[in-house]
């Protein structure tokens, strides 16, 4: 069996002074089916130090094309030593390929999200709490949601976006529901975007209003968490920003998206350069 060294965490254990394979290792070494073998590798990836953290960060997203950006994220966010970056990158790719966690979309490489296949609810809560501890959120600070209002996407506000944003400690705001009243609508939208600490944009269907509001947010150098159910709805010039992709055919898509949005909102607060339109960044 060939497996990247960092991904064998959880495959060996010491008993009576000797090294023995764990039950997980036995499932990988002697799988009863190809499906069980893949599940074993995936569980090993989720247990591997550092690799699991980087996987969870990028799950449901494309790995950045920009080599410098990817390296800086690993070094600055995950504290991978600069000198170890080439080896870590190679091991990371090999481990995820072995676990069938990488998927090609044209010239992009997407990290599949299988977090609900091997549930660790306490781990997910701890991850969000850890991210939240690094962010100072004041009472009343907002996250502005830009999305189509018609069904089914309009329904995502109450079911997905609001619960996700509330996990971060921010107040969720959507133009039609919270800030529309008397006065010019565009003035209210501008104030809502301008006041927001971070924003969320649902790009699915390429809604004109969403893209207009997104342009305002980028002009203000605001960090925006981008979301789409498919690649074609994300304009080419936005693909240098991290995008959360979701699949409504996945039975766990709603739960996964809530967790991922919460994590990315917190990440955008701690590392806004990941969520700011690069040509607009100072």
**Distance (Å, whole) CA 89 – CA 66:** 13
Whole-Å CA distances, 143 to 54, 129, 175, 229, 260: 25, 18, 11, 21, 15
pTM (two decimals): 0.75
Protein fold of 136-280: Rossmann fold (3.40.50)
Are 111 and 101 in contact by the 8 Å Cβ rule? The answer is yes
In the block, residue with structure tokens 């079911």: 159
Around 179, how many Cα atoms within 13 Å sit in the side-chain half-sphere?
23
**pLDDT tens, per residue, the chain with 282 residues:** 334 443 445 555 566 666 656 666 666 666 667 777 888 888 888 888 899 999 999 999 999 888 888 999 899 888 999 999 999 999 999 999 989 999 988 888 999 998 765 555 555 566 666 666 667 788 889 999 999 988 899 899 999 999 999 999 999 998 765 554 555 777 878 989 999 999 999 999 999 999 999 999 999 999 999 999 999 999 988 877 889 999 999 989 999 999 999 999 998 998 887 788 876 545
What residue ranges do the domains of the chain occupy? 5-111, 136-280
Distances (CA, A) of 11 to 2, 43, 83: 13, 10, 27
Distance CA 274, CA 241 (A): 6
Q: With CA atoms as reference, report the closest residue to 7 among 98, 85, 77.
A: 98
């Amino acid at each position: 069996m060939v497996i990247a060294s960092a991904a064998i965490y959880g495959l060996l254990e010491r008993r009576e002074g000797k090294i023995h394979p764990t039950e997980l290792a036995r499932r990988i070494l002697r799988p009863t089916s190809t499906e069980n073998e893949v599940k074993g590798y995936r569980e090993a990836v989720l247990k591997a130090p550092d690799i699991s953290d980087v996987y969870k960060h990028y799950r449901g997203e494309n790995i950045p094309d920009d080599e410098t950006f990817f390296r800086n994220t690993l070094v600055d966010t995950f504290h991978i030593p600069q000198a170890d970056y080439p080896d870590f990158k190679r091991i990371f790719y090999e481990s995820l390929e072995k676990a069938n966690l990488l998927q090609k979309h044209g010239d992009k490489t997407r990290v599949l999200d299988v977090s609900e296949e091997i549930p660790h609810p306490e781990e997910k809560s701890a991850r969000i709490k850890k991210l939240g501890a690094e962010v100072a959120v004041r009472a009343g600070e907002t996250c502005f949601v830009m999305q189509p209002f018609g069904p089914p996407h309009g329904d995502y506000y109450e079911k997905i976006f609001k619960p996700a944003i509330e996990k971060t400690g921010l107040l969720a705001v959507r133009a039609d529901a919270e800030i529309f009243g008397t006065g010019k609508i565009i003035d209210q939208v501008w104030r809502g975007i301008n006041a927001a600490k971070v924003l969320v944009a649902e790009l699915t269907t390429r809604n004109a209003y969403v893209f207009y509001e997104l342009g305002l947010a980028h002009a203000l150098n605001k960090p925006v968490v981008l979301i789409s159910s498919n690649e074609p709805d994300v304009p080419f010039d936005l693909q240098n920003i991290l995008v959360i992709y979701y699949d409504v055919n996945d039975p766990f898509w709603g739960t996964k998206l809530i967790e991922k949005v919460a994590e990315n909102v917190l990440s955008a607060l701690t590392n806004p350069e990941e969520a700011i339109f690069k040509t607009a960044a100072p």
